[in-house]
Amino acid sequence: MNEQIKREESVHGKHWSKLHGGYFSEPMVAYPLIRKVQMIAGKSEADTIIDLGGGTGSLLSLLLAEGIDRNISLVNLDASDTQLEAATRSETSCVRGSVDSFSRHDVGAEDGNFLFMMRSVLHYFGEDGLRPMLRHLRTQTQPGEYFVHQTASFRHQHDADCMNELYQIMRTPKWYPTVDFLCECLKDEGWQVLEVLPGLPLPLTKEELRRRYDLSPAELLRISDQFLSHPLVSEDLFKKTDDDFCAFLHYWIYICTPVITDKPNKKKPEMTVK
């Protein structure tokens, strides 16, 4: 198991649904992504939906509850045993594996028609691992398939910089791109970005950060000082009250498909680039 996942074990499994105000189990938060996945699954005639870094399987459960063709296989691929143990729905299958090294063969019939979805996982790969991960996924994707992901990312460079400083103080390699930079990386790694739309922000309270990353009072103070020392920090990114603070991770949903190069017989996507 990778070090980051090991460090977060205390918030995984049965604790996960309550973390960050219940963000990861709240249907309202997930609906924009779920609606897109439902729509694209129908349009692309996917036979398998793979949730990359699917955690406790809450997105796949919601997809089932909201309605998806019952002939579509649902697969949760995650690297954490604790998360997968909590993902117990019989209608979905769990695969233990890493997003940056799995093979198509691990998650379904190689000649199947896959739809890859992902929420809040890309930042685990850090600045250096982002492009290799996107490249790896591209090698596991066929023309006409889709990669729909909700990724923490920021419209403005200074917001991304502030958040990355926060994560450095917390001694984690997690890293957040700007929306423009992520689109550039996706394109460089062979993806066409068809649409980008906003998701709901995730509140990171002082107490939850302390617990999740085992932070000392001095580290918490540094985080607060760091944000307050930035002239451009808005209340969308960081709010301070007397003895407390809350930072906000911003999310965007990216609809991507592999760039088609030399396979004219494969079905081309019909969506409009925004």
Q: Which residues bind ligand SAM (CB under 6 A)?
A: 5, 24, 53-55, 58-59, 78-80, 83, 98-100, 119-121, 124
Min dist CB 263 to ligand SAM, Å, is 28
53 vs 269 by CB, closer to ligand SAM = 53
**264 C-beta neighbours (distance < 10 Å), count:** 8
Closest CA to 2 of 167, 138, 121: 121
Q: Tokens standing for 140?
A: 């596991």
Query: What ranges in the chain are assigned the alpha helix state H?
Result: 3-7, 19-22, 27-44, 58-66, 81-86, 104-107, 126-139, 157-169, 179-188, 206-213, 217-229
Q: Tell the smallest beta-carbon distance from residue 40 to ligand SAM (Å).
A: 17
Query: In the complex with ligand SAM, which residue's Cβ is closer, 233 or 256?
Result: 256
CA dist 257 → 38, 218, 233, 265 (Å): 16, 45, 34, 16
Q: For residue 52, give the 3-state DSSP assignment.
A: strand
Q: Could you give the dihedral angle defined by the CA atoms of residues 270, 41, 100 and 26, in that order, rounded to the nearest 10 degrees?
A: 120
CA–CA gap between residue 14 and residue 79 (Å, rounded): 16
Q: How far is the CB of 223 from ligand SAM (least distance, A)?
A: 19
Q: How far is the CB of 129 from ligand SAM (least distance, A)?
A: 9
Q: Which is nearer to ligand SAM, 48 or 58 (CB)?
A: 58
Nearer to ligand SAM, 124 or 147 (CB): 124
How many angstroms separate the CA atoms of 94 and 88, rounded? 9
Q: Closest CB to ligand SAM among 97 and 112?
A: 97
Shortest distance, position 118 Cβ to ligand SAM, whole Å:
7
Cβ closest to ligand SAM, residue 80 vs residue 224: 80
Closest to ligand SAM by CB, 54 or 177: 54
Task: Tell how strand 238-240 and strand 245-249 pair up.
Answer: antiparallel
For residue 116 the two structure tokens come to 């890859």
- Sheet strand arrangement including 245-249: 202-205, 245-249, 238-240
| Cα(116)–Cα(74) distance, integer angstroms | 10
**Minimum CB separation from ligand SAM for residue 34, in Å?**
11
Q: Minimum Å distance from CB 265 to ligand SAM? A: 33
Is the distance from CB of 79 to CB of 1 less than 8 angstroms? yes
